[in-house]
């Protein structure tokens, strides 16, 4: 059974940039200790011979082949309509 100290919780809070009250420190000390106990219990389970589960829904990633599609106008055709062009790109006002 791993029991977190008050200093452990304060260190975690500092690393997480959290400001905790004394009640929250006590609460998280208990809750985090229970979580660590549960993880220790899971760590003791014998999983030898079990296959890892990577996908539980049975779905597969389906991708299509990349293909070049000619939509007609070229970049230079589109840039002819631009009010301002710089380095073969649309030139627009700065937006901040």
Please tell me the predicted confidence (pLDDT) of residue 1: 61
User: What separation in angstroms does the CA of 25 have from each of 13, 16, 34, 50, 79?
Assistant: 9, 13, 14, 39, 61
CA–CA separation, 28 vs 14, rounded Å? 14
What is the mean pLDDT, run by run of 10 residues, along the chain of 96 residues? 88 96 95 94 91 84 88 89 90 88
SS3 of residue 5 by DSSP:
coil
């Amino acid at each position: 059974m791993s029991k977190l100290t008050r200093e452990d919780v304060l260190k975690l809070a500092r690393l997480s940039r959290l400001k905790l009250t004394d009640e929250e420190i006590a609460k998280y000390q208990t809750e985090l200790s229970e979580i660590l106990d549960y993880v220790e219990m899971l760590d003791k389970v014998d999983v030898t011979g079990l296959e890892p589960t990577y996908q539980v829904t049975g779905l597969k990633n389906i991708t299509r082949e990349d293909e070049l599609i000619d939509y007609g106008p070229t970049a230079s055709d589109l840039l002819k309509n631009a009010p301002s062009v710089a380095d073969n790109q649309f030139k627009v006002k700065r937006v901040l």
